[in-house]
């Protein structure tokens, strides 16, 4: 009653305090924001109640630091949960958080910044560098030249190695699918011979052509040197001379 009286006088409407809920990630910030917003009302209500509990200026400043330091994290989580979120948006979002924490320059913000940087360093992979390079090779080069121990960029040889692994894995899966089709085709030879009796000449010819195409396609599959291909394409990509149907374009789609 005492609190709501001052809340109505101050805001013109009723606003209740929010209790933190351990099952909701954002409830802590919501609780702190509401409590700090009603700080004047809380102080007045405590005086009316003749409570021994009082908040000093230092304690209110600490609550404000908590609010300011947690707000960028809330915005970041919401941004990362979008359907169109990628490694690129994650990169930008994390830099946004660190810039804000650095600007606050408090003990808490510095501790949070150091903890976040350590976590980023632990989990950073070469895939981040690949997607940044594919999106904008100039930005990749700029980030590579920066002395940043957190948002490090892998060298091109390491990116080529990772892209090569991805392409070889996809290529093997593609060949594996072809092989399965061949096995099924070979196992069904007897059935095909029986079917021929019921087919017209045109249908029989079409069946043989399909078998020949499948056989030729599988025999024509050769082991590709993706490392050499990627070296050439990355050079051409940097010079804006890359063609559409290339391994790099395939990586962009992936």
Q: Is residue 115 part of a domain?
A: no
Q: State which of 14, 37, 55 marks the end of a domain.
A: 55
Domain membership flag for residue 105: no
Structure tokens of 50?
């003749």
Among candidate residues 55, 71, 90, the one where a domain is terminated: 55
Write down which residue in 16, 33, 55 finishes a domain: 55
Q: Please write the tens of the pLDDT for every residue from 81-116.
A: 888 887 778 888 888 999 999 999 999 999 999 999
Q: Is residue 77 part of a domain?
A: no
pLDDT in tens, 120-154: 999 888 988 888 888 878 888 888 888 788 988 89
Would you call 32 exposed, middle or buried from its count of C-beta atoms within 10 A (0-12, 13-18, 19+)? buried
Residue 60 lies in a domain: no
Domains: count for the chain: 2
| Statement: residue 215 has pLDDT above 60 | no
Whether residue 21 lies inside any domain: the answer is: yes
> 135 in a domain, yes or no?
no
Q: How confident is the model at residue 48 (pLDDT cuts 50, 70, 90)?
A: confident
The answer to whether residues 195 and 149 touch, using CB atoms and an 8 Å cutoff, is no
pTM of the entire predicted model? 0.63
Domain extent at residue 231: 156-253
Task: Please write the tens of the pLDDT for every residue from 150-185.
Answer: 988 899 889 888 888 888 887 765 555 544 443 444
pLDDT category, 33, cuts 50, 70, 90?
Answer: very high
**Residue 118, in any domain of the structure:** no
In a domain, 195, yes or no: yes
């Amino acid at each position: 009653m005492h609190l709501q009286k001052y809340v109505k006088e101050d805001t013109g409407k009723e606003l209740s305090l929010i209790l933190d809920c351990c099952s909701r990630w954002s409830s802590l910030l919501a609780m702190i924001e509401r409590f700090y917003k009603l700080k004047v009302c809380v102080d007045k209500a405590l005086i009316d109640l003749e409570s021994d509990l009082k908040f000093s200026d230092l304690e209110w400043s600490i609550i404000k630091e908590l609010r300011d330091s947690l707000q960028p994290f809330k915005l970041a989580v919401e941004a990362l949960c979008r359907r169109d979120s990628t490694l690129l948006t994650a990169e930008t979002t994390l830099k946004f958080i660190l810039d804000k924490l650095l600007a606050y320059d408090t003990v808490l913000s510095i501790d949070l910044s150091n903890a976040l940087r350590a976590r980023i360093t632990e989990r950073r992979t070469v895939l981040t560098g690949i997607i940044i390079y594919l999106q904008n090779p100039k930005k990749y080069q700029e980030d590579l030249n920066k002395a940043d121990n957190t948002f490090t960029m892998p060298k091109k040889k390491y990116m080529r190695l990772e892209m090569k692994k991805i392409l070889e894995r996809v290529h093997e899966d593609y060949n594996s699918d072809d092989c399965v089709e061949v096995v099924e085709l070979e196992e069904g030879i007897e059935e095909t011979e029986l079917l021929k009796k019921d087919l017209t000449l045109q249908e029989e010819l079409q069946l043989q052509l399909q078998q020949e195409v499948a056989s030729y396609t599988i025999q024509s599959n050769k082991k590709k040197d993706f490392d050499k291909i990627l070296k050439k394409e990355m050079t051409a990509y940097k010079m804006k001379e890359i063609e559409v149907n290339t391994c790099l374009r395939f990586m962009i789609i992936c």
